[in-house]
Structure 1
Amino acid sequence: MGNVTFKQNPVTLVGSELKVGDQAPDFTVVSNEMNDVSLNDYKGNVKLISVVPSIDTGVCSEQTKRFNEEADKIDNVQILTISMDLPFAQTRWCAANGIKKLDTLSDHRDGDFGEKYGVLIKELRLLSRSIFVVDSNDKITYVEYVEEVTNHPDYDAALKAAGQAK
């Protein structure tokens, strides 16, 4: 995988890099209601998975707000934001920021998503900023591992890929 940095310092990502055409690995994360959620819960839908280190920080907050705003513009796409934040923190942040058009999910319990998608930062136990678009057959159609974790992803490319996925 390319070199990923956090504040210009190299970090180690646990797991394997996923590529376009790969079958999306199933995973288990925790919903804001403290229920287990898996990729299978979204079966048959196109998924745009927005991965952030912590929803309560600047770039992560902007990323989540941007995808929430764009949700109405892309039909038949379920947007998921996954971070290591506790579900309680995600719920509080979403309420304070009017986030209602996407699902925030927590990988805090065991890092299952992070390891299976190759985005778990070993040194920080945070998820590396990334975007995955998964079609209705659970094939990956778009991947972006953001090289510098504190930078924004390519929103336009991700949204275009989600809009084109079937």
Structure 2
Amino acid sequence: MANVTFHQEPVTLVGTEIKVGDQAQNFKVLTNDLKEANFDDYKGKVKLISVVPSIDTGVCAEQTKRFNEEADKIENVQVLTISMDLPFAQKRWSSANDITKLETLSDHRDADFGEKYGVLIKELRLLSRSIFVVDSNDKVTYVEYVKEVTNHPDYDEALKAAQAAK
């Protein structure tokens, strides 16, 4: 598994580490309207999955805003932001921050995404900051497990990967 820290302290990631070339795992999460959604709902599309610990914190907010701004520039890509935040909090935050070009999804109920993508922080029950790009055939084409959870991901590389995916 990826060696990850949170405020410079090592944390344990639960689940399976995803690698480039893997077939993306199906997962279930909740929409902001408390409806169950799963990965198969986005079949046939390129997906950029932005994973944040809590959408209402500094770096997570900046990450979500950045991908919202970039979503129009990467054609035919569905941008998803997944966190452990309650759907109500995601909806309120998204509305207050004019997040309209990406979808926020909650993994709080089952941590299904967190375990299947190897980003569930055991000690905190939060998701570790990471980025996954999955092509229209559900092959993983880009993975970044951010080594220090409080740091930003490599936005430019993630966006390049999303643009290159078919």
The 5 A counterparts of 1:29-40 are: 29-40=29-40
Aligned residue identity for 2:80 = L
Shift in Å, 1:157: 0.1
Aligned residue identity for 2:90 = Q
Q: CA RMSD in A?
A: 0.4
Structure 2 residue aligned with 1:133 = 133
Could you list the runs of 4 or more consecutive aligned residues of structure 1 that deviate by over 6 angstroms after TM superposition?
Answer: none
The 5 A counterparts of 1:136-155 are: 136-155=136-155
The alignment covers a number of residue pairs equal to 166
Aligned residue identity for 2:100 = K
The whole-number CA distance in structure 2 between the counterparts of 1:18 and 1:165 is 17
Give a deviation string over 1:22-41, Cα, whole Å, max 9, x none. 00000000000111000100
Structure 2 residue aligned with 1:115 = 115
The whole-number CA distance in structure 1 between the counterparts of 2:45 and 2:3 is 32
The whole-number CA distance in structure 2 between the counterparts of 1:19 and 1:71 is 24
1:73 equivalent in alignment to 2:73: yes
TM-score, normalized by length of structure 2? 0.99
Aligned residue identity for 1:100 = T
Instruction: Tell me if the contact between 2:47 and 2:136 (Cα under 8 Å) persists in the aligned partners.
Output: yes
Shift in Å, 1:2: 2.8
Q: Which runs of 5+ in 2 are unaligned?
A: none
Structure 2 residue aligned with 1:96 = 96
The whole-number CA distance in structure 2 between the counterparts of 1:16 and 1:88 is 28
The whole-number CA distance in structure 1 between the counterparts of 2:158 and 2:136 is 16
Aligned residue identity for 2:53 = P
Shift in Å, 1:16: 1.3
Give a deviation string over 1:26-85, Cα, whole Å, max 9, x none. 000000011100010000000000000000000000000000000010000000000000
The whole-number CA distance in structure 2 between the counterparts of 1:70 and 1:18 is 24
The whole-number CA distance in structure 2 between the counterparts of 1:18 and 1:80 is 17
Structure 1 residue aligned with 2:21 = 21
The whole-number CA distance in structure 2 between the counterparts of 1:80 and 1:72 is 13
The whole-number CA distance in structure 1 between the counterparts of 2:21 and 2:44 is 17
Aligned residue identity for 1:51 = V
1:3 equivalent in alignment to 2:9: no
Give a deviation string over 1:122-155, Cα, whole Å, max 9, x none. 0000000000000001000000000000000000
Structure 1 residue aligned with 2:42 = 42
